[in-house]
Structure 1
Amino acid sequence: MLYFTRQSTRRVLLSAALLMMTSWAASVHAQTIPTKRWSASYPTTGAVVIPAGENVLLDVNLNVTTLSILGRVVCDNKNMSVTARWIMVHGELRCGTATTPFLHRLIITLVGTNAVEDVMGMGTKFLGAMSGGILQLHGATRVNWTRLAATAAKGSTRITLQLAPSWRVGERIVLASSDYRPEHAEEVAITAIAGNVVTLSRPLTYTHWCQTSTFGTATLQECAEVGLLSRNILIRGDAASVTAGFGGHTMVMSGSVAKLSSVEFFQMGQRGRIARYPFHWHMVGNAVGQYLKNSSIHHAYNRFVSVHGTHSTLLANNVGYDTVGHGFYLEDGIETKNVLSANLGLRVRNATDGKPTPSDRQASVFWISNPDNTIRDNVAAGAEDTGFWLGFPEHPIGLSTTPAVWPRRTALRDFTGNTSHSNGNRGLYVDGAELANRTTTTTWYEPRQNPADGNSLIVTPVFRTFTAYKNRNEGVWIRSFAGPVLAGAKLADNWMGVYLANLVSGPAYTNLGIVDSSLVVGETGNKGNPETWETKGLDGRELPRFWSPGDSIRGVEFYDGPMAVSRTVFANFQSNTQRKSGGISSLAPNSFNVSSRNFSQAISFVNANRVYLHDLTPNNSGDAFSTFLDSDGTVSGTAGRKIVPKNPVLVTPLCTLNALWNAYVCPHEYMNLQVHVASGESLVGTSLRRDDGASVALASAEGYPWSVNTNLITERPYEVRFATVAPKIIDFVVPEKPGKAVRVSMLYPPSAFTVTRWGSPVYRASSLAELTSGGHKYFYDGTRLHLRVVNPSGTWEEVRVRRP
């Protein structure tokens, strides 16, 4: 039995009171403890204003018309709800802190259907901060998302996770799709949990895959993500939001501060409306220290998060599920030094009406419009179009328009460790930047040391440790002038692994696009969830292009160039009776130029047809002349051999046909020759004939009827045969391979003509025999003009033939 004196009792009670006060003070994290309780000082209905200088403890439920906070409002430690048409914060709204989160339940419901109302530029149905407003909401710390530890089969009611997340019964989670259909993401409730095993409220409709596979020394993990949607702080649109997609929105304007963690956004965003997003920094400028993290945004109507005219924010460990239009969105191309880290986005739908921007018809999970941002360890797990869309405009657009900033020439700050799967189009797309009218156009990324100087040195962009699987088209598509490097990538189950449209540019003219130290897998054990009505693979698997089941599956395609594939493993590329397959290929059909400097080195193969080149098709000289060098013999078995298509003017008796590759292995040196008609005549009907009689039709590049592109055997005589008389001004261009030469002839009228190199006369030989060596030369025999065109330095070299 314990006995207390009156003094000891007083001491115990005093200590308890002090402890309670300390705990309460810490929980509200007040510089000044609130001096008023809402329940005793302010109404809970109607239009309410908290005056400047007031310091109020929110301790009661509110059902107000509107709420203006000019002073300071701090949440009490209790469950509460706030319902309003809009909430404007000019002072401060605080519920929990970064060190002492709010652990009870707070529900903020934004109501209304009046789309015309516009309060201070924020519209209506919003939680907003402006004119110095501070918004701080910190919910309970949670495990936001993880991955499956084992495949969850269709019909399962239990899943096993890679870690024990301490989620709770009744909370809602979402399982990402692990096939080609983003709509196969599934939302379920938790009915029981024991460690890392979660029991679900219903059987799964689809199989969600998890497997780690080993190919030689390389490993690939395909495991569906599982995200937590529930949080104890909830900001939501009302039930009426569903009808027209007119939900609530959160907006933080210039001069204001937002720090949010562990907040749930539900039925937020206003469909098709500019600046009406679930969460939105709007023209804040420098926002160092501001963040949205550990939160969920789901069942939204317009994006997940927009960072607009704002720099240095942190978006980390958020889960975005089910929205319309681009998900995590850097808006104008001026936004820099933001950090997007470990965010999970899934089920992103196209905006069929092209609103708020035309590109939203091709929605991406991550839209990045300036490369000077950190994009690390994020997952794009299912957009109807693209996972990561990096489209860099020449200059910022929209409200941030300025000619002084050059996103397209800005260096890539950090793109590392990101994953993209289950997208309807591409995993990573570096191309298609916006114009001033928000339509997109083909763009070449060319980062330079001084973005304002288009002649300054190139800065090589490196995309590190990117994973892409189950994308219907390309795992990676990069268009660049800068020699991009895709390093340590893991690509699997894509229709095409890598499309690298790299073009060289001055002044060095040597920028090399590289796929390096990567793993590229044609097909894994993940057969997906094919619909009953769609065409399947021979083993029952879901095909990336079920509508065209005969389309070949390829790993890395050579295109443009120069380009290299180095230290890369290709696995499980096997042709069958349904479709062809090959680890290394070339883009087809393709009418554009392909560099003769493309090469492979240090390649290894596991259960893979090493190469597959397509049959020649009409009007496509690009793939007809696409060759690559096997520099060390790890593809063909003999170092220095060239892999060439079945083009008769490239193949000789010294070449060997590999039927499985649909290609020849040749010992010859090939060199790029481009024929451009500067006088504008069409080259339709032009053909090429080798000195032994082998010939092939030449096709101009799409949209360029005055230009054809070839790769020819060096020093071997070829004849260009025009459909009619030779054009008046013809440029013969050899853009690469220093010290090498091509020989070409053509029927030419006996009128006066000139042959020049950059305006200076080219040496006229006295006999055809003189053309076998030396520099630029020509010989005219009265009916035929013979040229020797040499590249002395490895840069663009041009010889012009001109007649009256």
Structure 2
Amino acid sequence: MCFVEFSVCSGKVGYLANKEEQGQRWGDNRPSARLRVEFEFYKMLKSEEIWCVGGVACIAGEDNCPDHSPSLSSWNPGHNPEKAMVVRGGDLFRLDSSATFYSLTIQSGGRLVVFADNTEGSKNITLRTRNVLIEDGGSLHIGAPKCRYRSRATITLLGRSDEKAVAEVPELGRKFIGVRGGATLELHGTERLSWTLLTRSIPSSGLATGGYAFQRNFSRGINLRVVDQDTAAVLFTERYDTYDSRNDSRRLMHLLQSLPAGRIVTLAVGDSATKNLLDETKRTIQSLLGSTYVHDLKYRQAWALVSVIGGGNGSCSEDVREHENHDTGGKALARKNFTTVDGVGFSVTKTANPTDLICALLGFPISGFQVDAVDQVVLNLQDDVHTWQPGNHVVVASTDYSMHQAEEFTLLPCPHCTSRQVRVQGRPQFGHMGEIVDGVDMRAEVALLSRNILIYGEMENTCYGNNWCQFFGHDTYGGHIKIFGNFTSVHLSHVELRNMGQQEQGRYPVHFHRCGDVDWRGGYREPAYVDGLSIHHSFSRCITIHATNGLLVKDTVGYDTLGHCFFLEDGMEQRNTFFHNLGLVTRPGTLLPTDRNETMCTSIRDKVYKNYTPSPSMECKAVSTFWIANPNNNLISNAAAGSQDAGIWYVFHSSSTGDSHGLFPETRAELTPLGIFYNNRVHSNFKAGLFIDKGVKTTNASAADPREYLCLDNNARFRPHENADPNRPRVAALIDTLIAFKNNDLGAWIRGGDITIQNSGFADNGVGLSFASDGSYPKDEGSSQEVTQSLFVGESRNRGFNGGQNKYWGQGGADGKMRTLPRNRTFPIRGFQIYDGPVRITQSTFRNYIPTKERFTSAVGFNLKNTWQLTPRNNLSKLSFQPTVGLRAFFGRPGQWFDENDLDGDKNSIFHDVDGSVTGYRDTYVGRADNYLIRHPGCINITQWNGVVCSGTYSQVYIQTQGASSLSLSISRDDYPEAPLVLRGINSQGALSQQYQPILMMSKSYTLHWNGPAPREIVLSLINFNQGDWVLVGLCYPSDTTFQVMADINDRQSNIFDDISDYGLLWLYLRARQGRDGHSYCSVKGCERVKVMATTSSSKLTCNCTAKAYPKYTKTPSAVVPMPTLSNQPCKDCGASQVSLVVHHTVFVPLVCNSIGKGMKPGIFLVSVDACSGKVTNKRFFSKMDSKMEEYLKTGLPKR
């Protein structure tokens, strides 16, 4: 039987076999819309290449240990830090002991197997050197995929950046492992689970019930605490005045007798307790708690006890101190350790100190009590971690807004732990969730940092020289691994990289530098991969993929790093796969503007033009755990668990940049279809979990544009088409199973067109999901965005922890308890944010959106302080709002965050409630309450929302003006002339032209007025008009004006005009003569529009005709479309079908490979399987791997 592991994500899955499979089983059957997984992807997802070919069952990779080769010579070179060691052609060495060199060069034909190993794993070897250079034909091996290295191998890279006597190696610099073309690097440590998830929450004290500490002065008697032995919870507290009251002595006795066996009890004397402490009470304490001293207690004697009911003397810890002239040595302390049912160790401590210095002198005896976790905090984990060993280091990710709540621990021996548990040293400072909270998977990632192969840079104690010490207090000149193109073989698995990377271009922990295709397309039978690496405390990125395609990065952890962590560099890297990687605590760096924080951005100005000062928010502040510079890459089952800015950022290069500029065909990244995006999680990021928007500047700084090369730029919008050709059909991008929680600003910001999000969960974000569709005029016509089958949670039961750089703490949530907050105590939390359009949300669920006195919290909201237009084609349907939703929608109010709430986009906020699942009124539109352009008498006001629900048909008129850019436009509807809508325009004041885009109710008449002289040219375009829709528009001009009025249809692709007529009218009847298709905002023939050119001698008159127009043109308000009745029927099929949104940590497909059947010819039997249903869709036989088979794999697997 042959088990081949794939991620089941979308499209087709294929495998090679020699006989039809006997059965198949799927780990997951999630539907995905469109994607096809091709042959190279099948191969990449396997860390070891497994084939089922011809007449054998399974053949897998290399099966010999490299250090067992009989051709190797034992090598013990010793320690000579001045020797430049060269392994020449023909030298085949097995390093049998530790060594120190100045440098190590492996020349052509030399093969160095580092290090010798043994079955016990005890042959530990360290190599110390300034650099290792593997040249063409040379190779360096530590273990093999089928013979994992067992001992501990360490390569220490030495050197400082300011060593003038040490020459830099061209293209490599200092402190490196370099792999030239034709070279081989094979590093394979012991396989250990790279990372997993908590399955039980860790409280900040280490105890589920929290720690407990109490100390105060007490008067006479015995102070008691009862503790639950299973949970460490304090169950009961009381003081018994056994000095003065015989009745209190009896109450103490009865209480002890009532407790069940096993309950923990603590007792301590406050001042004196003996005068009326009855003998029967003493006997009860002796018999139930095993006390030795209680029978002989004296006046003002300090006594403390911790024991267990029914445990006898063996369970009792007690201490007694004599009372001697108020001496300070009279403190009695009793302590005993216990273990909860969860395996967490805790101590219970009781103190009595009637002689505590001044307090005792003043008659205030001190009694103390404390419950603490000890070094027995047990982590309960999702996966088998038996390969994690005592002494290993792990990191637990933050599950709060601040990434700085990630914590490192050292593992301790734990004989009682299961294979899914580990015990850690010390107590956590912060809480870490291990649960699915309110339906969203918020379990903290737990990563193993230790590996038995370690490569690290030896560092100085502090920063020095020109290493950006103004930004970093520590040395940042670490080691680096650089791999050049045309290498023979590179596979890195289960290696630890610590103190790697430098704040210099091209010096990264792992750097694939201009390697081209590194999979089967590049001629590699065994495609390159990076698997199971631990990269931590890095000084420049984690994995850099530079002009390299087809690389698999799998099960790799990047922790506490500077700059973008998993990094695609030049914008032309494609077909790379990031599978099940974890990145957390991604900090700013200096290399690129997008790496920098605000201080770095304004301080590093050597590449801007002259004295230009960069704008941090516009050009920098984008450091991300996954920086994806081309959409044609695959992200599957990854976690971005904390970055200064973004978790995953898709950025679009208009052309290849850096070293690749001009060397490759234009990639047109913003037009390139999205690769696979499936089952990823993003949390604890400051700016956004997922960000899809923007490009980078691709020109050098100049007087015309003084910004730095590769700074963030608002020059790209994602609009995928077939073959990146805008004239070919669109290709919808699918975001499937995204979990986004505790992101300070945005769970996800999605800009562009034809993007679908499904099966996703958003919780505890400032804004859950913000759609900024590019399908509104005059952008990418016909595009749209949709979210379906998703869950939105405003404020969950994950209340967070007040600390770890969380700034805001206040009341919130459905329970009104104190919690950490995003952005600010008054920030208006929103679940789904509408911007631009058209966007659609359907079959989704909202819960826990409860406004407070300090802030408006709503399920649906709009982009704040919005100058841009919104389309009435934004629609909502089949939504479920749980009882914990206080505001279903909110249109803002003047005040903090909203300012005056009077920008054009604010006033035109609107959405279509298709089925009434938002308002209860089917096929209605919901807009701002004070927008009388959309109202009629039957509309329903919802004051709490600052909204109004109306029936009708709504579209936009796009008004462009020339010759008067600073004008405000006042629009009055003849039904409500006393309530005009005033728009200030989208473009900045002083621009050559201005544009306005009001939303109008169809079949109504309007007048347009200006606060200054009328513009000499106005173009009115009919946007989102359906065929036959009309409005009547009156334009205000001086009476001596002459007009030239033209109506046309503008084919925006060819810029050809047809059907031109000259009317010469001031009143314009705007009627759509053509129909629209889909989400297009213009007709099938183009954009219908009217152009007015005006000539007047009264060019300085203010053109506001309101007084002349009304009451002359005033009409009685009426509804064009009657208002529907309120539906009281429950919404069918509303809300997400999934109660909980959970990441799928491991997804696989077992496949059966049998021996060749009788009568069958040797060859390759290829079977394709539908990844959604698990059904076999096709079977083909090939006699060999040839062009026919390749062509079939490329074109023969149809789209779903």
Q: 1:508 to 1:554 in 2, by over 3 A?
A: closer
In the TM superposition, residue 232 of structure 1 has moved relative to its aligned partner by: 0.1
Aligned equivalent of 1:297, options 519, 528, 535 = 535
In the TM superposition, residue 242 of structure 1 has moved relative to its aligned partner by: 5.8
Q: Does 1:200 align with 2:417?
A: no
Partner of 2:516: helix, strand, or coil? strand
Aligned equivalent of 2:95, options 40, 58, 61 = 58
What's 1:698 paired with?
A: 983
Q: 1:460 to 1:356 in 2, by over 3 A?
A: closer
Cα deviation digits, residues 454-492 of structure 1 (max 9, x gap): 322221111111110000111111111x22111111111
Cα deviation digits, residues 698-747 of structure 1 (max 9, x gap): 12115366111211111211111111232111111222132222322121
Q: Does 1:748 align with 2:1037?
A: yes
Cα deviation digits, residues 90-142 of structure 1 (max 9, x gap): 11000111111111100000000035742131011001100311110000000
What's 1:714 paired with?
A: 1002
Distance in 2 separating the partners of 1:745 and 1:176: 62
Distance in 2 separating the partners of 1:721 and 1:586: 28
Distance in 2 separating the partners of 1:313 and 1:535: 44
Equivalent residues in 2 for 1:196-595, closer than 5 Å: 196-214=420-438, 219-240=439-460, 243=463, 244-256=475-487, 257-271=489-503, 273-288=504-519, 289-351=527-589, 354=592, 361-402=621-662, 403-436=665-698, 437-442=709-714, 443-451=716-724, 453-480=725-752, 482-504=753-775, 509-531=781-803, 534-538=808-812, 539-546=817-824, 549-595=825-871
Point out the more displaced range, 184-193 or 144-153: 184-193
Distance in 1 separating the partners of 2:622 and 2:723: 32
> Do the aligned residues in 1 keep the contact of 2:594 with 2:621 (CA within 8 Å)?
no
In the TM superposition, residue 240 of structure 1 has moved relative to its aligned partner by: 2.1
Distance in 2 separating the partners of 1:591 and 1:644: 16
Partner of 1:727: helix, strand, or coil? coil
Equivalent residues in 2 for 1:120-199, closer than 5 Å: 120-156=170-206, 157-166=377-386, 167-193=388-414, 194-195=417-418, 196-199=420-423
Identity of aligned residues (%): 29
Partner of 2:786: helix, strand, or coil? strand
Q: Does 1:106 align with 2:144?
A: no
Aligned equivalent of 2:112, options 73, 76, 96 = 73
Distance in 2 separating the partners of 1:95 and 1:634: 62
In the TM superposition, residue 779 of structure 1 has moved relative to its aligned partner by: 4.4
> Do the aligned residues in 2 keep the contact of 1:732 with 1:789 (CA within 8 Å)?
no
Partner of 2:625: helix, strand, or coil? strand
Distance in 1 separating the partners of 2:71 and 2:585: 43
The one-letter amino acid of 1:642's match is Y
Distance in 1 separating the partners of 2:922 and 2:568: 47
The one-letter amino acid of 1:710's match is P
Q: Does 1:652 align with 2:691?
A: no
What's 1:10 paired with?
A: none
> Do the aligned residues in 2 keep the contact of 1:109 with 1:236 (CA within 8 Å)?
yes
The one-letter amino acid of 1:571's match is R
In the TM superposition, residue 45 of structure 1 has moved relative to its aligned partner by: 6.1
In the TM superposition, residue 541 of structure 1 has moved relative to its aligned partner by: 0.7
What's 2:56 paired with?
A: none
Cα deviation digits, residues 281-323 of structure 1 (max 9, x gap): 0001111111111110000111111000111111000111001
Distance in 2 separating the partners of 1:128 and 1:360: 31
What's 1:19 paired with?
A: none
The one-letter amino acid of 1:131's match is G
Distance in 1 separating the partners of 2:811 and 2:1003: 46
Partner of 1:432: helix, strand, or coil? strand
In terms of fraction of residues, the more strand-rich structure is 1
> Do the aligned residues in 2 keep the contact of 1:298 with 1:323 (CA within 8 Å)?
yes
Partner of 1:450: helix, strand, or coil? helix
* Higher RCO structure, 1 or 2 (CA under 8 Å, sep 6+): 2
Distance in 1 separating the partners of 2:747 and 2:390: 37
Distance in 2 separating the partners of 1:351 and 1:40: 39
Unpaired runs of 5+ residues, structure 1, are 1-23, 766-777
The one-letter amino acid of 2:949's match is V
> Do the aligned residues in 2 keep the contact of 1:357 with 1:438 (CA within 8 Å)?
no
Point out the more displaced range, 727-736 or 170-179: 727-736
Q: 1:473 to 1:233 in 2, by over 3 A?
A: same
The one-letter amino acid of 2:981's match is V
The one-letter amino acid of 1:629's match is H
Distance in 2 separating the partners of 1:643 and 1:40: 80
> Do the aligned residues in 1 keep the contact of 2:562 with 2:586 (CA within 8 Å)?
yes
TM-score, normalization: structure 1?
0.90
Distance in 1 separating the partners of 2:963 and 2:658: 38
The one-letter amino acid of 2:721's match is R
Q: 1:637 to 1:619 in 2, by over 3 A?
A: closer
Cα deviation digits, residues 41-62 of structure 1 (max 9, x gap): 9978611000022211111211
Distance in 1 separating the partners of 2:459 and 2:869: 56
Distance in 2 separating the partners of 1:106 and 1:344: 24
What's 1:93 paired with?
A: 140
Q: 1:93 to 1:756 in 2, by over 3 A?
A: same
> Do the aligned residues in 2 keep the contact of 1:734 with 1:791 (CA within 8 Å)?
no
Distance in 2 separating the partners of 1:680 and 1:567: 47
The one-letter amino acid of 2:128's match is T
What's 2:913 paired with?
A: 630
Q: 1:508 to 1:308 in 2, by over 3 A?
A: closer
In the TM superposition, residue 431 of structure 1 has moved relative to its aligned partner by: 1.0
Partner of 1:622: helix, strand, or coil? helix
Q: 1:516 to 1:738 in 2, by over 3 A?
A: same
Cα deviation digits, residues 556-587 of structure 1 (max 9, x gap): 11111111111111111111212112111222
Distance in 1 separating the partners of 2:507 and 2:963: 50
Cα deviation digits, residues 652-678 of structure 1 (max 9, x gap): 32111112322111112211122111x
Distance in 2 separating the partners of 1:588 and 1:762: 41
Distance in 1 separating the partners of 2:742 and 2:836: 25
Distance in 2 separating the partners of 1:356 and 1:27: 44
> Do the aligned residues in 2 keep the contact of 1:87 with 1:128 (CA within 8 Å)?
yes
> Do the aligned residues in 2 keep the contact of 1:737 with 1:791 (CA within 8 Å)?
no
In the TM superposition, residue 413 of structure 1 has moved relative to its aligned partner by: 1.3
Q: 1:762 to 1:651 in 2, by over 3 A?
A: farther
The one-letter amino acid of 2:914's match is S
Q: 1:234 to 1:515 in 2, by over 3 A?
A: same
Q: 1:486 to 1:650 in 2, by over 3 A?
A: same
Distance in 2 separating the partners of 1:634 and 1:146: 39
> Do the aligned residues in 2 keep the contact of 1:353 with 1:361 (CA within 8 Å)?
no
Distance in 2 separating the partners of 1:291 and 1:367: 19
Give the total of aligned pairs: 754
Q: Does 1:793 align with 2:840?
A: no
Distance in 1 separating the partners of 2:903 and 2:854: 24
Cα deviation digits, residues 603-645 of structure 1 (max 9, x gap): 1111213212213735511121121111111111121011111
Indicate the RMSD between aligned Cα atoms, in angstroms.
Answer: 2.3
In the TM superposition, residue 34 of structure 1 has moved relative to its aligned partner by: 3.4
